[in-house]
Structure 1
Amino acid sequence: MIRFIIFLLSCILTFHHVSNSQIVLNEICSFNGGILTDEDGDESDWIEILNEGSSPVNLENYSLTKDHESIWYFPSKIINPQEYLLIFASEKNRTSGTLHTNFKISRIGSSIIMRDSTGIIADEIFTPPLQANHTYGLTTDGVAHFKGIFRIATPGSINLFTEFYNGYAEPPLFSVTAGIYQGSQLLTLSAVPGNSIRYTVDGSQPNTQSMLYIQPISIDSSTVIKATSFSNDVTLLPSNCIGNTYIINYNQTLPVFSLSTEPENFFDWNTGIYVSGPNASPIYPYYGSNFWMDWEIPAIVEYFDTDGTRKISQQVGISIHGGSSNRSKAMKSLRLTNRDTYGENDFTYPFFEKKSLDHFKIIVLRNSSGDFNKTHFRDGTLHDLMIGKTNIDLIAYKPAAVFINGAYFGVHNIREKISKHYIEENFGVDKNNIDLLEEDSTVLEGDFVVFNQMYSFITTNNMNDQSNYNIASKMMDVASLTDYYVAETFLSNIDWPYNNVKFWREKKPDAKWRYILNDLDIALGNNGWAPASFDILGRIMGSYGDNNRHVHIFRSLLDNGRFKNYFINRYADLVNTIFSSEYMEQHILNTRNRIAAEMPRHFSKWGNDMSNWDYEIFQIAMPHVYQRPSYAMEQVKAVFGLQAVNPVTLDVWPPQAGIININTITPEILPWTGNYFDGNTIQLTAKPNDGFEFKRWISEEIILANPLLATITVNPDMANKFTAVYTSSGNGSDITVFPNPVHNNLQIGFVCQVNGTSRIQVYAAEGKLVLEKHENAVANEIRYVNLDCEGLPKGYYLIKIINPDDVTSTKFVKL
């Protein structure tokens, strides 16, 4: 009776129920942890209504509303007296068959309102935060209604009064925040007076049999403490479990993931996902092992940034990730998946510096697969090198240390997972409205219908006909395809293109197909399978590529002269920049140095040592980096029948007066030299900086057809230097002076059209000749002359250049 009175008072204070309504909200689940699945197999939230009356009711134009925002209308449907009806709150918005609302129910609490066909509120419930698989709803003692929490859900049947509770105990408080500490810590747990606290130190969830907290806990090694409060009030359920990781005496240099769960979830011989188990084959890749099973375990994930601050603490599902190379290693790759089942939809944290993303449905803690314990970063660092520099869809990378139930588990690579969620997160498209495909026939999302149409058009029409090519370029993102083929062939990915091919498009008329690069573990000389001299481009252009539809598309596009020119130049552009030996060497060194302090501890866990690690980097990967560019350029030359590879040097005058675009790139520092192909024209575009105007191009080796145009096209048939000449804005002279105004040394640049002697004269403002120099000039070359102006008084001066064929002048100021 006392319990009944408590319930009655609490319910009167916390809810409103429309007592004269025949249709009531009977039970609501806002945290479905697997007690019920919908027709798609999803563990969606759900709402149960009940016809308490004695007559049938047609629900047509009845509605459900969440938080006075989302409104969902019932279809025409009869609910009979004393009948229960389930509606999934899934956002799927279905009104035929199984019913689904257009909203989900918030974990932190939602107001659910049901209105009748006239718009009058028939019933209303505010759901409080619930633990997994608990529900909130209506019960009765035979006379009065009460609302509260049910420990056991009863979808489609009468609610159990014996499992009816008024709320949860207040969770315990921890005196020490989760973190990374030097030295032991003394942890005090506290709870509401009268409540007891039980805790664990092995990652498991506390229960009534767990250790009873009596006195402060001394933590002198890395440990996960999980604690739950148990109330002496019989109307209150145990509190939420609070879990904190304490990593002790750890010299942190990387971010840290702490994963905690029931120990048997990882390591039990029969059910643990990390072990071989009783049914494993003794033969590689050990099919039948537990780690090959499609099992997912619940776990708490905590993420500590490099300053030791905890940024994430939430429950996720963990499964073993990857194929044979991943799963067969002693250290497994782990997939961390957020689901409604676990309470959160995403990780909301910007893990990756090079991507402006802060929502991730899935994160993979990767073991580097075929590069495990070698460089341990091949695939990750190559993706990182190309992000923001290419037109390929790439997988972000960051190294991290991982702990499981307080035990150190080594360096893992934080990576994105290629999935519909990756597409939505990276490109802002609806994840349920895409084609995401793999290789030649595997469907991850959508279907092959549009791809097959594109393939047929490109391979059966003449792409050298520009109108056909223009149509093709509206189907295929040719910039994406180009960079993808450059990367795969330059990086010597021998495990391609009959494997590791993923591509996607949004399902809309103007969407283009794009490629996603994945799995470069075999690159940079790994296993010696593809040395620097290996010709991947020649391989796919030969008989090896004859049965590959992606290669067929590539070959057909190359029939178009413009695309062929673009592809060859883009190849050279990338080899001259991010794929240059210097750039790649520095990038790999940066990656090595980022994880070097952590690797001794990693190797002590998983074997190997620092000398072997450095051998893999400096004696295998680095020589590949040094040798590959020249091999790759020669292979392009051979495949396309080009004449030679020649250096092209670019410069501007005066210094920093402007920039130069060459094909698809803009060198950051001038002068700059890159290698290009005789027989494939390049395009140069001069762009002045503020305060300057483009004047002309100067070539040291050839006479330019249109030197006064800012954009010129030339064939690099020999080593050559091209200089873009600028002049100060408003200066109509062919003379350039730098700097202007000048303190001491003045540099003058001018061009003479014929060979001969040029006279340089400087006049003061009153017309007096104050300086004169004679210089030998070569036709069509910039002549640079330095003048010492230190002895000149401050003021305005005129420079006159008297050439054999003309006279020109300009002004400068002496400060």
Structure 2
Amino acid sequence: MLSQQFSDFWLSVLLFVLFSTKVQAQVSGIFINEILSSNAASDYDAATSDYPDWIEIFNSNSSSVNLGGYFLTTDTENIKMWQIPGGTTVPANGFVSFWADDSDLTNHAGFALDKEGGFIGIYTSSGAVVDSFSYGFQLRDVSFGRSVSDPGKLVYFAKTTRGAANSQKYYTSISNSPRFSLRGGFYNGNQTVILTSPSPDAVIYFTTNGSEPDSASSVYSEPVTLTKTTALRARAVEEGALPGLTMTQTYLIDEEINLPVISIVTDSANFFDDSVGIYITGTNGKRGSCDATVRNLNQDWERPVNIELYEKDGSLGFNQEAGIKIYGGCSRTRFPQKSLALYARKSYGKGSFDYKLFPDKNIHKFESFILRSSADDQVRTFMRDALAQYICIGDMDLDIQAYRPAVVYFDGEYWGIHNIREKINEHYIVSNYNIDKKNINILQSNSSLVYGTQIKYIDLINYIKVNSLATTAAYNYFKTQIDIDQFIDYEILHIYLAERDWPGNNIKYWNSNTIEQKKWRWICFDLDQTFIRTTANTLADATATNGPNWPNPPWATLLLRSLLDNQEFKNRFIQRYAFYVSSTFSPGRLDSIVDVFKSVLEPEIPRHITKWGGLMDEDSQETWMPPTFSSLLQWQNNINVIKSFIRDRPSVALEHLRNKFGLKNLVTIKISPNIDSAGQVLLYDRKVPKPLFSGRLFPDLPVSLRATSNPGYRFLYWELTGNISRTDSAAEIQVTLTGNQEIKAVYEKTAGNEPVVIINEISYNSSPDFRTGDWVEIYNRRNDPVDLSGWKLKDSNPENEYVIPQGTIIQSNGYLVICEDINSFISKFHYLIHFRGNTGFGLKNEEEVIKLLNAHNKVIDSVHYTNKYPWPEIDDGKGYTLILKNTDLDNDLAENWMTSLKATPGSRNDNITGIMSEKWPDNSQDGIIKSYPNPCSSALTISYRIVSGGNVRIKVFDITGIEMATLVNDYRNPDIYSIKLNTNSFRNGIYFYSMDVDRKNVDLKKFIVIH
């Protein structure tokens, strides 16, 4: 920023001094004067309640200049990135600034600045450059711009001055970071750390109390000896340069490691100072939602920290600066141990935590996560919320938070167990569903907006207020708006576990503006008050019209009540609930899961008790809440309460269900496949346990059953014995029970080992005029459907993996397209309905491997293609796709593929005319082109040509003339084909294969098998 006294100076030097900006700037007198690309706590924007980056423009002219229509950009290839609104003027010798974020508010540019370095430019409406410069790495809350005394010089300012003159004091460089001779981690005995700097003249300051080193800190002069767990922080200062980055390493010395360790390091004032501390009541607070006490911890304050994660084996997960807040509602005021939310922001250095926090989730990047102190269960077991969510994995379709217990150290001091959890926000949806966050809508409570827009949901609620869902038409419409099965699972979980703090509280739900995820889904969180009230009739609470108990006001029960008016929904809800009681919620299953949770936490519990045992929040007004468990025995007894609930709840819950709906006594149903590995039986689209499921369902209500097949097997029929005796060959049936019943799904093994679900068409380089994103089409060769739930699509990058959602069925002889980007795909193929995505990754043009794996990580099919011979050569960007010539061909052979300019996702490839490879030997008649290898051992590949089209038959015979196999017996269009013969079962010797076209023999060849 330039002051009034320097305006004459600017006018005189503009004609003679060559700045680092373009010549056009010297003509217009408009300059980019100062930027802040790492605004952590320097300049606050009240409109967004945040600290965005910003760009300041200076007008050196003696009259105001209208910048309306000019452009700001960070990309020289896209100079019209963001247009300055019309009527925006900068006064004579004055300034105007623009926030740089993705907000659409006035004077908010539609981009952010990169802390790592970049380009910033301003251009006229016609595209002429006005001013620009490039910049390097930027420190937090340090601005970059023009020196007042030498405007051609770009420098750093420790004090930002948006909207005013630039500071006279500046720096031309940033000090180098110090180096540690020993990396943080787990150590035994005293440790010695040597600190060095690349600059021999640098002064290194260090601290061991968590505070950021400054000129008042200890000056490094000799190796630092550490005798206990310590967070060591160091910072170098070079002559004439800004102080460098603060580097942090935590040394955990002689600690017993039972869980992953997270070290949080910050100035203790950020947590415990009366004025600014976020962890305490303090003297600068506000009232919260759960009591009247004014507390600092109720403020939405964020403080800078350094965070390290170490795995149990001592390996480093990450070490970076981040922001931290107190997390939670009433729990922040009820309990002494607070939950914490961590935020990666570019203003701290990195905009994400690039680490796979949860081994059971294939997510490698997090913008935020929670260190949860278990809220209301903090005083009992420290596991209820995670336990309640994890029991549904693999059985129920629910959006849950991943869980991983860890131990936290604060400034080197043991801070007890905290549960690492996903944070429920737009980034959670992006990570778990690969959806662009701009398309996400998240609501909570009674249609309150969290992210996006709530208009469509409010319209939906208004719809059921005037339309009875008892009618088929209204219910069918509703099924297009919410994920019915997911909603049923969500309701059943909370009702069965007798969640007390629900349904009028702790409720969040989401959808997307994209077709694939337009249906509303509900998210599970804060289930800390479960596994307690064994006899509670939460079914009555969840369907009450007048809300007699906390917290079930009428709005919170409206959706379930309205849906239960529909007989189809009610049948589905009742029978699935009863099914879950016998399967997912069975005491044996749940008891074993509790034991696993217990075994993980138990070794750490004694030390956790030493830190937090017997304590209560001294300022809490909720005296009904007991103190934290104070002995290992008390903790174990609290877990026994969970086990008692697990044992006694089934009969109580089923009786609630029977009484609510006036049902008859339960009957026993037994379901099994004749071959365990042959396929999966689904009851109301939920997996039936194998090998034998024995449970209780209600009579006189339909039970929907569906059989799916695994590769290598075929479903034949159902066999019903008991009160109903019959067989049924349909893969999906409904059975209304009248008494005890046994049902068997009968399968047979199919011949051969060829994959039944194959990769059939590949689009890896769409045309610029027809951008669809990359996609892969798969095809089901079978005559019955295949359940693809949990199957995976992968490419050559091991980090690229797309998991096909639960409930995805590919129909018999049907197609499914898996897309990189659903929005791009449906913009061109809007008529298709059988697709999934977003994968979040594209395919390589030159060489790629695509793999399709089943839910057990077995490779079902793979294609290894290139864009060079013998594969069809595709010109980049021309829009060709790779198509398999026929679905019964071996798709791993290059000669069985061709290119097409007319993509056919979701339909047969052989309906179109392709462009065949022209590098085969010229041949004017039908016949065998080649077979290889010959002699062969395990397989022989036969390539043949069809010139005019016809019925083709290829048979294999041994030397005595006995027929061994029929390889082809079908019509073939004009083309070149390949097929593979499996010879593992052939004895050593000489064999022949013959080829007939339209019953006329055209070729006879010999091959030899040698094992």
Deviations 1:158-177 (A, max 9, x none): 2223x121111111110001
Deviations 1:486-542 (A, max 9, x none): 0111011122223222223345798333222222111111xxxx1x22221133335
Which of 535, 541, 546 in structure 1 is aligned with 2:537?
A: 535
2:484 maps to amino acid: V
CA contact (8 A) 1:114 1:123 kept: yes
SS in 1 for 2:189: coil
CA contact (8 A) 2:289 2:330 kept: no
Change (3 A) 1:579 1:195: same
Provide the rounded CA distance (Å) in 1 between the counterparts of 2:346 and 2:713: 59
Aligned residue for 1:761?
A: none
Aligned pairs for 1:286-435 within 5 A: 287-429=293-435, 431=437, 434-435=440-441
Aligned pairs for 1:92-491 within 5 A: 92=103, 98-141=106-149, 145-161=152-168, 163-191=169-197, 192-231=199-238, 233-234=239-240, 236-277=241-282, 287-429=293-435, 431=437, 434-440=440-446, 442-445=448-451, 449-491=455-497
Change (3 A) 1:579 1:343: same
Matched, 1:611 2:643: no
Deviations 1:750-791 (A, max 9, x none): xxxxxxxxxxxxxxxxxxxxxxxxxxxxxxxxxxxxxxxxxx
CA contact (8 A) 1:647 1:674 kept: yes
Provide the rounded CA distance (Å) in 1 between the counterparts of 2:149 and 2:284: 53
Count the aligned residue pairs: 707
CA contact (8 A) 2:723 2:738 kept: no
Q: CA deviation at 1:545?
A: 4.3
Aligned residue for 1:799?
A: none
1:254 maps to amino acid: L
SS in 1 for 2:145: strand
Q: CA deviation at 1:577?
A: 2.7
SS in 2 for 1:453: helix
CA contact (8 A) 1:503 1:515 kept: yes
Change (3 A) 1:34 1:651: closer
Q: CA deviation at 1:657?
A: 4.3
Which of 563, 569, 591 in structure 2 is aligned with 1:563?
A: 569
Aligned pairs for 1:798-813 within 5 A: none
CA contact (8 A) 2:719 2:727 kept: no
Provide the rounded CA distance (Å) in 1 between the counterparts of 2:407 and 2:577: 36
Aligned pairs for 1:568-587 within 5 A: 568-587=574-593
Which of 638, 645, 662 in structure 2 is aligned with 1:641?
A: 662
Matched, 1:59 2:70: no
Provide the rounded CA distance (Å) in 2 between the counterparts of 1:390 and 1:581: 17
Provide the rounded CA distance (Å) in 1 between the counterparts of 2:289 and 2:496: 34
Which of 86, 89, 93 in structure 1 is aligned with 2:97?
A: 86
1:645 maps to amino acid: L
SS in 2 for 1:634: helix
Provide the rounded CA distance (Å) in 2 between the counterparts of 1:32 and 1:326: 28
Matched, 1:723 2:744: yes
Q: CA deviation at 1:470?
A: 0.9
- The range that moved more, 348-357 or 190-199, is 348-357
SS in 2 for 1:46: strand
Provide the rounded CA distance (Å) in 2 between the counterparts of 1:452 and 1:119: 44
Q: CA deviation at 1:412?
A: 0.6
Deviations 1:682-710 (A, max 9, x none): 12333454554444433331344553433
CA contact (8 A) 1:43 1:340 kept: no
Deviations 1:685-736 (A, max 9, x none): 33454554444433331344553433332223322222233345489xxxxx
SS in 2 for 1:101: strand
Aligned residue for 2:960?
A: none
- The range that moved more, 440-449 or 205-214, is 440-449
Provide the rounded CA distance (Å) in 1 between the counterparts of 2:663 and 2:50: 57
Matched, 1:679 2:693: no
SS in 2 for 1:221: coil
1:374 maps to amino acid: R
Change (3 A) 1:395 1:727: closer
Provide the rounded CA distance (Å) in 1 between the counterparts of 2:603 and 2:646: 24
Change (3 A) 1:278 1:24: closer
Task: Note the residue ranges of structure 2 that are not aligned, 5 or more in a row.
Answer: 1-16, 614-629, 753-1011
TM-score, structure 1 normalization: 0.81
CA contact (8 A) 1:706 1:712 kept: no
Aligned pairs for 1:490-509 within 5 A: 490-506=496-512
CA contact (8 A) 1:326 1:370 kept: no
CA contact (8 A) 2:499 2:529 kept: yes
Matched, 1:26 2:28: no
SS in 2 for 1:678: coil
Change (3 A) 1:420 1:662: closer
Provide the rounded CA distance (Å) in 1 between the counterparts of 2:504 and 2:647: 28
2:542 maps to amino acid: I
Matched, 1:663 2:663: no
1:537 maps to amino acid: L
Which of 42, 45, 50 in structure 2 is aligned with 1:42?
A: 50
Change (3 A) 1:612 1:184: same
Deviations 1:610-640 (A, max 9, x none): 21111111x2111111222232222222222
CA contact (8 A) 2:176 2:244 kept: yes
Provide the rounded CA distance (Å) in 2 between the counterparts of 1:13 and 1:24: 13
1:663 maps to amino acid: Y
Provide the rounded CA distance (Å) in 1 between the counterparts of 2:139 and 2:708: 62
Q: Which has the higher contact order (CA 8 A, sep 6+)?
A: 1
Q: CA deviation at 1:119?
A: 3.0
Q: CA deviation at 1:552?
A: 2.2
Q: CA deviation at 1:341?
A: 4.1
1:599 maps to amino acid: I
Provide the rounded CA distance (Å) in 1 between the counterparts of 2:288 and 2:246: 40
SS in 2 for 1:628: helix
- The range that moved more, 148-157 or 682-691, is 682-691
Provide the rounded CA distance (Å) in 2 between the counterparts of 1:635 and 1:438: 28
Task: Note the residue ranges of structure 1 that are not aligned, 5 or more in a row.
Answer: 1-11, 732-815
Q: CA deviation at 1:34?
A: 2.8
Runs of 4+ in 1 over 6 A off after TM superposition: 279-284
2:633 maps to amino acid: S
SS in 2 for 1:440: coil
SS in 2 for 1:489: helix
Provide the rounded CA distance (Å) in 1 between the counterparts of 2:751 and 2:367: 56
- The range that moved more, 76-85 or 559-568, is 76-85
1:718 maps to amino acid: G
1:399 maps to amino acid: P
CA contact (8 A) 2:20 2:152 kept: no
Aligned residue for 1:68?
A: 76
Change (3 A) 1:691 1:127: closer
* Rg (Cα) greater in structure: 1
CA contact (8 A) 1:354 1:387 kept: no
TM-score, structure 2 normalization: 0.66
- The range that moved more, 364-373 or 454-463, is 454-463
